[in-house]
A and B are shown apart, each in its own frame.
Chain A
Amino acid sequence: MNDMTKIERALEMKDMKISAKNVQVYYGDTHAIKDVSVEIEDKTVTAFIGPSGCGKSTFLRCLNRMNDTIDICRVEGDILLDGEDIYDKRVDPVQLRAKVGMVFQKPNPFPKSIYDNIAYGPRIHGLARNKAELDEIVEKSLRRGAIWDEVKDRLHAPGTGLSGGQQQRLCIARAVATEPEVLLMDEPCSALDPIATAQVEELIDELRQSYSVVIVTHSMQQAARVSQKTAFFHLGNLVEYDDTTKIFTNPEDPRTESYITGRIG
């Protein structure tokens, strides 16, 4: 490694957005996440990869306390967002989730119009003072979701009437509309066809300008295409976490290598 690259790397060093230390998650008696520590950078796409049931989605859902909605789930350890513990007693998960938005595996537009789908978050969080502002937020969000051109003529048509890829981009736009700082994406492309997947991946790359994006994915190619950092989970453990290029070209852990080369999965 020469000096030049060192300088480049130093320039690329960014703020830590989320830092998790010694996180343990239990589902009833099952120990689902075992002692995971990870630092997630701002304005970066971080990918979580690993075989099914390895805990990557569970860990992702800890980052905005979505696991609170499951009765039997218990989280231990510290997860800091900008240095503040999100599991602190004083934290209202509702306020947290406004900052840490989430996009789900299956597109889940509400059975409302496209406009109302986007406006839902801003409305509940009171982000718009009047109708004009709300209109503005909706348009901006749809543009950010790269779907504005496709739906601008039918904002009041039901969101459920869109195609799968459009629905997912609508859901991303919906998540963006609350002005989050972090976007969590739980296998956002697994229910989409290749063309829609390409569109969403392109969108994720653009979102990196403004947000810290964490994406759980099944597909290693996708992780390689969209992410700068990659974490490999296996059986509830974080096996390896490093730059994406490093993970895919020169993994340190033999398990990572086996997974990437298709021997476990």
Chain B
Amino acid sequence: MSDASLQNGPEMGAPTTKSSILQLDQRTKKRNAAEARFRAYGIAAIAVGLVFLVVLISSIIFKGVGAFQQSFITLDVELLESKLDKSGERDIEKIKKVTTFGYSPLIENALKAAMEEAGIENPFAKGKDLRKMLSSGAAADLRRFVIANPDRIGDTVQFRLLASSRVDGYLKGRVTRESLARDKNLTPVHLDVVDQLKDAGVVAKSFNLGFITGADASESRPEQAGIGVSMLGSLYMMLVVLACALPIGVAASIYLEEFAPQNWITDLIEVNISNLAAVPSIVFGILGLAVFIQFAHLPQSAPLVGGLVLTLMTLPTIIISTRASLKSVPPSIREAALGVGASKMQTVFHHVLPLAMPGILTGTIIGLAQALGETAPLLLIGMVGYIASNYPGGIIEGFMSPNSAMPAQIYEWAKRADPAYYERAWGGIIILLVFLMTMNIIAIILRRRFERRW
């Protein structure tokens, strides 16, 4: 480009056409349209994100609330002495010898009686078919009652017995007559009876406390499965995480933030921590398997091991948030303390740490919430294959003996073939999310309540 050509161009700064700013030119209109489109994309993106959230939350609720209701069959069972205590001595050892098979006929009789009373015709030749409407755990409930109250033998006692999961599913709309066509557990004929029993008020749905407090059940009895034991397993794990991650995390942060010299070792630790925060959780599971189980021979599936693995996993999170809250304490506080002759250690422990505490606690709670919902590492240390069917005997056993944890229990249920377990899994998710929400709300309140602006 030469200066000659420059002079031929329109003169700069003196626009040849004077346009009014009151009229939009064509180009500005086009640009404004592009502006509106771009803005719409942004709104659409947020809307899509929120729609996903709504779909997710509503499917959790729709699919999960069912687990908090369960169908029960209320029966007056005559505890026949001739079946339960032939000798009539009320000797508890002898009563215990009667297995659940001994109790089944009693239930069958009671059910027949209830149907007769309601004027329902019994379409089944075999009593076994009739009993399919009840949970196979019902006899065990009866037996447990008799062993606890041997003096009631001979009486007629009212029991609320669990209906079988198919009956429960029918009342909740999950099981239909069509779906039973290929099912060997129940026939459409049963459903006719159930309809009549429901009208008679013998079968009814009610709140299912057993789901919250109960233990896991075998694959064939979804109606009995509860999340109580694994909730306890999660609690023990969280105790381990809290007891390890908080002190170690705070100590590490104090060192890095207040004492560490600027050298390559400190750099290495810092890079390390930010990388650990992004290492996939499953890798921590591999570490737990190799170090705690293969090398240190700690018991498999134990909440102690789970807690240790989750500690290592949440430590970076806690360290990062703790350092942020230590950093937010202004240097003037440190200078003031040092100025009156406090040592550096005293400055940190007497002034900086207490001021940073609310932030540290908030970070810790959020780290705990993250650990509570984590599943992948627990798979590798054996917390999923384990059926959490018994409450641990004591505190030490609670830490050391195999147990499940809430997310692991949910995964276990989701793996099982019976669709009745999906409902349990979603129900478990509701409980898990209630815990997470509570923890997050506590963290938010803490932050609001104690947040300090310097």
Contact = CB atoms under 8 A, between A and B. Distances in A.
**Do A and B contact each other directly (Cβ–Cβ < 8 Å)?**
yes
Q: How large is the interface on A (under 10, 10 to 19, 20 to 34, 35 or more residues)?
A: 20 to 34
Contacts of A125: 27
B22 A90 contact: yes
B22 A91 contact: yes
Interface string A77-107: 0000110101010111011100100000000
A91 B12 contact: no
B12 A90 contact: no
Nearest to B14: A210
Contact of B28 (A86, A94, A207, A209): A94
Interface in A186-222: 207, 209-211
Interface stretch (A54-62, A133-141, A163-171): A133-141
A94 B32 contact: yes
B6 A140 contact: yes
Nearest to B5: A136
A94 B15 contact: no
Contacts of A126: 27
Contacts of A124: 31
A92 B13 contact: no
B54 interface: no
B27 A84 contact: no
Contacts of A91: 21-22
Interface residues of B, number: 19
* Chain B interface SS verdict (over half): loop
A88 B22 contact: yes
Interface in A174-194: 176, 179, 181
A139 B9 CA distance: 12
B179 interface: no
Nearest to A85: B22
A82 B21 CA distance: 9
Contacts of B18: 82
Nearest to A132: B1
Nearest to B3: A143
B13 A211 contact: yes
Nearest to A81: B21
B9 A179 contact: no
Contact of A94 (B1, B14, B20, B31): B31
A124 B34 CA distance: 12
Given A135-B1, A136-B1, A139-B6, A95 B25 contact: yes
Contacts of A139: 1, 6
Nearest to A179: B15
A74 to B, nearest CB: 21
Interface of A: 81-82, 84, 86, 88, 90-92, 94-96, 99, 124-126, 135-136, 139-141, 143-144, 176, 179, 181, 207, 209-211
Given A84-B20, A84-B21, A211-B13, 12 more contacts: A92-B21, A94-B31, A94-B32, A96-B21, A99-B21, A136-B9, A139-B1, A143-B6, A144-B13, A176-B12, A179-B13, A181-B15
6 contacts: A95-B21, A95-B28, A136-B9, A140-B12, A176-B12, A181-B15
